């Protein structure tokens, strides 16, 4: 089940010329907030430990985490 997807925020009635990954900015902000508070799921603790540490150290953005660890095609045209 999806509550929100980056690709729902591109095309249509959005400004032309914006990169598709901009649709993941708000989702990434929430992910970074959750990760900073230790609210990530067990799956990511096991499978994405390095990326989680990078977000916690503010060396990776939540949006980067979204696209690299959650769904590599979210918001990107294939």
Q: How far is CA 36 from the centre of its chain?
A: 14
Helix (H, G, I), strand (E, B) or coil at 25: helix
Query: Between the CA of residue 3 and those of 6, 8, 29, 40, what are the distances in Å?
Result: 10, 11, 15, 16
Answer yes or no: is pLDDT of 77 > 60.
no
pLDDT digits (tens, 9 = 90+) for 11-27: 667 777 888 788 889 99
pTM of the full predicted structure?
0.79
Nearest to 29 by CA among 8, 59, 55: 55
Q: Where are the domains of the chain?
A: 19-70
Average pLDDT of the chain to the nearest whole number: 85
């Amino acid at each position: 089940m999806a509550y929100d997807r980056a690709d729902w925020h591109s095309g249509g009635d959005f400004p032309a010329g914006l990169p598709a990954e901009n649709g993941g900015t708000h989702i990434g902000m929430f992910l970074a907030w959750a990760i900073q508070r230790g609210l990530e799921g067990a799956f990511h603790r096991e499978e994405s430990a390095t990326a989680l540490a990078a977000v916690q150290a503010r060396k990776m953005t939540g949006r980067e985490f979204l696209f690299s660890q959650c769904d590599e095609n979210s918001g990107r045209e294939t």
